[in-house]
Amino acid sequence: MRIFSGIQPTGRKHLGNHIGAVRGWLEGQERGDPAIYCIVDLHAITGAYGPGALRSYVYDTLAMLMASGLDPERSILFRQSDVHEHTELSWLLSTVTAHGDLNRMTQFKEKSARQGELVSAGLFLYPVLQAADVLAYRAHEVPVGDDQRQHVELMRDIALRFNATFGDLLVVPEHRIPEVGARIMDLQQPEGKMSTTGSEERGLVYVDDDEAAILKKVRSAVTDSGSEVRRAADKPGISNLIDILAVIRAIPTQQVEREFEGQGYGAFKGAVAEAVVEYLRPVRERYGELRADEDALETVLAEGARRARALATETLSEVRKAMGVGPPA
């Protein structure tokens, strides 16, 4: 089974990234043949960014992934812009993508509202490039957070429409979304997800935060006026913390509720804070060692791109032939 997923190099990585995405990547590394993971820098430039910062964030992201346990010998780790097949396939697939489908994308509506005066065409076409990312590798499974469910449905539609028009060449992928932890929420505004661009500093736990900062942020998390530790629609803050602890301990959320029954929020938030510190400690320590050697990180990216290109080139060649693009084979 081929597995593919991507992560944006936008800012420092946080607990939501780690629980919602990286955890699934580690699990996929055990099953994928191969597991293919991409740092999607071309997606990152659809919003405001600094060129120098972007390159630095690519290294930050790769170091974090490797510190978390992703092994470039067992998985394919690469930078999206190093494999040009993604962009060409994106253009070809755009011809079988409905304009109306792109207009309905929830993330486009949300992000375009924040972009103000210039809403880039790249942001509008973002889901088509995302489809090309996956379909180039004929991936069977896409581990994603809950916020990407709509995009995976679109890439399935694109693959089905392509196959119906030009022949059965593309694999129609399935998403893999964890039952718990697929959407970690902002600690200060738990109605919205934890986000580098949308959350304030206090609402984010960064993977490379020091232990004192992690303890303070989690213990200061917004909850509600009650004291009962249970998941409920009217208790988004507590529900979020229950999910975090359940994922870290690999136990059902109901077990967390039973453990802290009658103890109140203070004891519960303290336990979550300590668990997050322990969860991130080995990643943070290993990250510092890896991030210091940018030449070694570039070597990993270059080798990953070579391996990725070998797969993507084959798909692109067959797609070009089926669509009548370029010289005959």
Q: What is the pLDDT of residues 228-248, one digit of tens each?
A: 999 998 999 999 999 999 999
Q: Is residue 40 in a domain? A: yes
Domain count, the chain: 2
The answer to whether the beta carbons of residues 229 and 265 sit under 8 Å apart is: yes
Whole-angstrom distance, CA of residue 82 vs CA of residue 22: 22
**Helix axis angle, 294-323 relative to 149-166, nearest 10°?**
40
Q: What is the pTM of this model?
A: 0.89
Residue 11 confidence (pLDDT) above 80: no
Half-sphere exposure for 130 (CA within 13 Å, toward CB): 29
276 shares a domain with 142: no
CATH number at residue 231: 1.10.240.10
CATH number at residue 149: 3.40.50.620
pLDDT of residue 37: 97
112 shares a domain with 17: yes
282 shares a domain with 258: yes
Greatest Cα-to-Cα distance within the chain, rounded to the nearest angstrom: 73
148 shares a domain with 128: yes
Beta bridge partners of 79: 39
Contacts of 223 (CB under 8 A, 6+ apart): 235, 237, 238, 241, 265, 269
Lowest-confidence pick of 76-85, 127-136, 194-203: 194-203
Residue 164 confidence (pLDDT) above 90: yes
216 shares a domain with 80: no
Q: What is the pLDDT of residues 61-119, one digit of tens each?
A: 999 999 999 999 999 999 999 999 999 999 999 999 999 999 888 877 777 767 767 77
Q: Is residue 189 in a domain? A: no
Contacts of 45 (CB under 8 A, 6+ apart): 54, 122
21 shares a domain with 138: yes
The DSSP code for 201 is: G
The letter for the amino acid at 11 is G
Tokens of 95: 């011809």
Q: Is residue 132 in a domain? A: yes
Range of the domain at 18: 3-176+294-323
168 shares a domain with 58: yes
